[in-house]
Amino acid sequence: MNGMSPTAGVFRLNAAWADQARTFERLSTGLVINRASDDPAGLIASERLGARQAELESRIDSFERSVAFMNIEEAELEAADPGVGSAEARAAIGTQQRGLEAERRAAKTEYINTAAARSSIRDTDYAEAIGTLTSQQIRFKAASMALKMSNDTRKGAADLLIGGVVDRAA
């Protein structure tokens, strides 16, 4: 006998199957965190980063709307008074636009960095997942073979006992 009970073999087989199912889920969704139990701290951090991303998107949109309104004001000033009198107003608008543009670029950079941080927490590393899957498939096959050997050994022993009883009765 190989020393493994059928119950232990079934337990190992089920554990290997469950590990494979989680890895297949990660590969199919592209996410390491598919439920809160996968990584509670990672999920919290990821959700906070997601909220920050939404906030930054809103700020960037606001900056872009403000710049668009300033462009409209500048065009109205140019149409109303193409002379020198509106130069000061256009200069003030240009200064505001540059300030807003600098803030927009900073917010955009922060958004990109936040998205990258969130991605590193949530997204599956496919090379690592494939390596894990290969290992799990080997464990699954080994557990299957061990269970088969255990069952074959017990069946062989039972056949010997039954055969011996049948031979004596004859």
Phi/psi of residue 123, nearest 5 degrees: -80, 145
At 50 the three-state DSSP class reads helix
The tokens 């690592």 sit on which residue? Answer: 128
| DSSP 8-state class, residue 83 | S
For the chain, how many helices (H) and strands (E)? 4, 0
pLDDT of residue 1: 42
Report the chain (170 residues): mean pLDDT per 10 consecutive residues.
67 86 88 84 92 95 90 79 66 84 93 93 86 88 83 67 55
pLDDT of residue 65: 92
pLDDT of residue 165: 52
Contact yes or no for 76/92 (Cβ under 8 A): no
Q: pTM above 0.85?
A: no
At 82 the three-state DSSP class reads coil
pLDDT of residue 71: 84
How large is the C-alpha radius of gyration of the chain?
A: 34
Kindly give, in sequence order, each residue whose CB lies less than 8 Å from that of residue 17, ignoring residues fewer than 6 positions away: 140
At 90 the three-state DSSP class reads helix
